[in-house]
Amino acid sequence: MSTPNTRSWLQTLVAFDTTSRNSNLNLIEHVRDALMAQGVHVQLFKSPDGAKSNLFATLPAQDGSTQGGIVLSGHTDVVPVDGQQWDTNPFALTEREGKLYGRGTCDMKGFIAAGLALVPEFLAMPRSKPLHFALSYDEEVGCVGAPIMLAQLKLQGQHLDGCIVGEPTSMQPVVAHKGINVWRCRVHGKAAHSSLTPRGSNAIEYAARLICRIRDLADAFKANGPYDRFFDVPYTTMTTNQIRGGIAVNTLPELCEFAYEFRNLPGIAPEGIQQQVEAYVQQELLPRMRQEFADARIEFESLAGAPSFDAAEGEAISELVRALTGDRAQRKVAYATEAGLFQQAGVPTVVCGPGAISEAHKANEYVDIAQLEHCEHFLRKLGQSL
């Protein structure tokens, strides 16, 4: 069984409804107070509106040093439970048949709980390097919080030797993931009665042309690559996943908006992909629309994004995690994490945490107790290695 402290911490963390639309301050302040009570130095880096916060805590080395060392990174927000059919209260930890159920148990409060439970042990270890915790907000809506924390740490001159992002990987090292880029497009045409179509410009129909163009680009990536066989989906993907427009069946719509995303392989510049979308608009779509309505326009808005991540072979943190897990397989995944942000900040990073990503975001989300035990063992060995 996992330690009582890990179970207790997970129960506490799950009870905070930190769905991304909500504040995470109650959770962050609870963790802050618990760490400060043990003599740990804690910093909070709040969102611009003050409604949310990151937390950065440092367990110094035996000589008092706070520079270098390893950071354990986790996000505190979770996805909504709206419309999902849960068999238990999603914000109350429930054990059943070797599994712990609750929103965030897998993604990714289980990792955070295991780390916090081991703080007394970490403090007692004669470590020559510090150990840090980095807890962020709004990862699930585009990795919004972590950049603020990383920017502040850079201003402070903080140097980190490596980072472990504890996203659910079944405690297997993941050394690369795709980037994610989410965009909203608004197509502005001109309304008219549907019996007088030449007097209007149909925003839905032109949006449909652009959506088909996005699908054509996606098909080209699938057919022509580039490919990376170590990814579960070995090419860059593009999909349109939300759309709305129109007010009546007999009225040409003046507005249609839709959201699309693309997940780029490492080495594929997301700017280049978006440029292809916008070039089609400028060169083909808008000229046709403006023959019907001179003031037609198409707007793009970036909603969220996280950079791709690709750990260099032989990095010390990768070798350490491989040694501690005994796992040397090459694993790369399609989902995004904050690892790319740490890597951009110059911190060598690897992704490794308890739980299976297939259980994340679903009704009846859970983490296996055995996975938490594995995580505890891994983190304990990590502390000892320092």
Catalytic residue numbers read 77, 139
Question: Distances in Å between the alpha carbon of 36 and those of 59, 379, 385?
Answer: 11, 21, 24
Query: What is the Cα–Cα distance from 113 to 376, expressed in whole angstroms?
Result: 10
Question: Distances in Å between the alpha carbon of 108 and those of 13, 102, 356, 357?
Answer: 10, 11, 10, 10
Whether omega before 226 lies within 30 degrees of 0, making that bond cis, reads yes
**Residues facing residue 251 across a β-bridge:** 193
Which positions ≥6 away from 230 have C-beta within 8 Å? 176, 330, 331, 332
Helices (H), the chain: 4-15, 25-36, 110-117, 119-124, 146-155, 203-224, 270-280, 286-292, 316-325, 339-344, 369-385
Burial of 10 (0-12, 13-18, 19+ CB in 10 A): buried
